[in-house]
């Protein structure tokens, strides 16, 4: 039996091959063809299997979730004026902004063609899709806002990242005919897993090994991005009357001293706080998975995947 990842890769390759090769569809195939972790479709298949379904039953919806995720990347990259995605030119850079808008729109419709064959699945998908849009809106709002609290930040990453992880799992469970309570529990597992994933991403951006992450160390700090680290760092700096972090942020981006900012975040205890926050989310994720009353053997693939995500250093 092919493993989950092979099933997904084959389904995506077959989908791309059947697409028309012209303007609107070429950018979809390009973006979907770039190397990616494909975690969300894996979660759809694993949740389906957890509740007694066959992974093959959920393959269309797994593809739909990955199409939706890539649609959000295509449009987010326009909004962020990002030149690169997965190390390659973004769609709006390779084609143009109008094509990236329109191809993204069509990609969302293609996602719905796969998600709307079961009204219950479509309803979950729409709920989570709206959450992702609201999260992106908050993310953009935060750039303009003076004060963002840790609670605001958590809500933003919950919407922007965690709800789609949660949605993928709820959809897989629904396809398998899971009970309402179980759909809720697997959704909670996903939400905490997604929050842990994003908070760890913030930590790795600052303290990770750039040869492993492939990103510039402290890129978020240089950009002044209001992540957990910067928000808590500034709060604690104000409480303790320490000036290093505000002084660095007052400088133009290119002249900021990243090692000094990292050292200050260590001294303030922010790195430790962030690591604790990741652990809390991981524990809550594990508790939700524990509470689901299915045979432990069935949970193995989800436990393995979440352990990989939790232990990653890239």
CB of 118 to its own copies, least distance (A): 7
Q: Give CA 172 to chain center in angstroms.
A: 18
CB of 125 to its own copies, least distance (A): 8
Looking at the Cβ atoms of 64 and 233, the one nearer to its own copies is: 64
Distance (Å, rounded) from C-alpha 49 to C-alpha 35?
25
The binding site for its own copies (CB under 8 A) comprises: 23-24, 75, 78-79, 98-99, 101-102, 104-106, 108-110, 112-113, 115-119, 122-123, 126, 129-130, 133-134, 136-137, 140-141
Look up tokens 């759809």; give the residue.
44
Distance (Å, rounded) from C-alpha 289 to C-alpha 111?
28
Distance (Å, rounded) from C-alpha 73 to C-alpha 77?
6
CB of 192 to its own copies, least distance (A): 24
CB of 27 to its own copies, least distance (A): 11
Looking at the Cβ atoms of 84 and 133, the one nearer to its own copies is: 133
Looking at the Cβ atoms of 120 and 307, the one nearer to its own copies is: 120
DSSP 81-102: T-SEETTEE-HHHHS-HHHHHH
Looking at the Cβ atoms of 23 and 269, the one nearer to its own copies is: 23
Looking at the Cβ atoms of 134 and 155, the one nearer to its own copies is: 134
CB of 109 to its own copies, least distance (A): 5
Look up tokens 């090769």; give the residue.
21
Length, in residues, of the chain? 314
Looking at the Cβ atoms of 130 and 150, the one nearer to its own copies is: 130
CB of 110 to its own copies, least distance (A): 7
CB of 177 to its own copies, least distance (A): 17
Look up tokens 């700096």; give the residue.
237
* Torsion 291-40-163-282 (CA) sign: positive
The answer to whether 185 and 288 are in contact (CB under 8 A) is: yes
Sequence-distant (6+) residues with CB within 8 A of 62 are 8, 11, 40, 41, 42, 44, 45, 168, 172
Task: Return the H-helix or E-strand segment holding 164.
Answer: helix 163-175
Looking at the Cβ atoms of 20 and 259, the one nearer to its own copies is: 20
């Amino acid at each position: 039996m092919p493993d989950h990842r092979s099933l997904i890769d084959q389904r995506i390759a077959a989908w791309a091959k059947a697409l028309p090769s012209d303007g609107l569809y070429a950018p979809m195939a390009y973006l979907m063809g770039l190397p990616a972790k494909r975690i969300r479709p894996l979660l759809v298949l694993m949740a389906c299997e957890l509740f007694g379904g066959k992974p093959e039953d959920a393959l269309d919806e797994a593809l739909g979730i990955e199409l939706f995720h890539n649609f959000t990347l295509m449009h987010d990259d326009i909004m962020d004026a990002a030149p690169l995605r997965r190390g390659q030119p973004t769609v709006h850079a390779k084609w143009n902004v109008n094509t990236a808008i329109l191809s993204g729109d069509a990609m969302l419709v293609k996602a719905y063609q796969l998600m709307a064959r079961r009204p219950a699945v479509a309803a979950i998908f729409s709920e989570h899709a709206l959450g992702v849009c609201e999260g992106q809106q908050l993310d953009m709002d935060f750039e303009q806002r003076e004060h963002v609290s840790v609670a605001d930040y958590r809500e933003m990453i919950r919407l922007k990242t965690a709800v789609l992880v949660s949605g993928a799992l709820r959809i897989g469970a629904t396809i398998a005919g899971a009970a309402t309570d179980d759909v809720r529990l697997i959704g909670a597992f996903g939400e905490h897993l997604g929050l842990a994933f994003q908070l760890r991403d913030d930590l790795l951006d600052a303290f990770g090994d750039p040869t492993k992450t492939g990103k510039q160390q402290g890129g978020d700090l240089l950009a002044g991005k209001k992540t957990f680290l910067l928000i808590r760092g500034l709060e604690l700096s104000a409480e303790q009357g320490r000036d290093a972090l505000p002084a660095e942020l007052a400088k133009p981006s290119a002249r900021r001293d990243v090692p000094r900012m990292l050292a200050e975040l260590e001294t303030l205890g922010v790195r430790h706080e962030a690591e604790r926050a990741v652990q809390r989310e991981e524990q809550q994720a594990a508790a939700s998975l524990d509470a689901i009353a299915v045979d432990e053997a069935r949970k193995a693939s989800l436990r393995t995947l979440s352990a990989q995500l939790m232990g990653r250093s890239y």
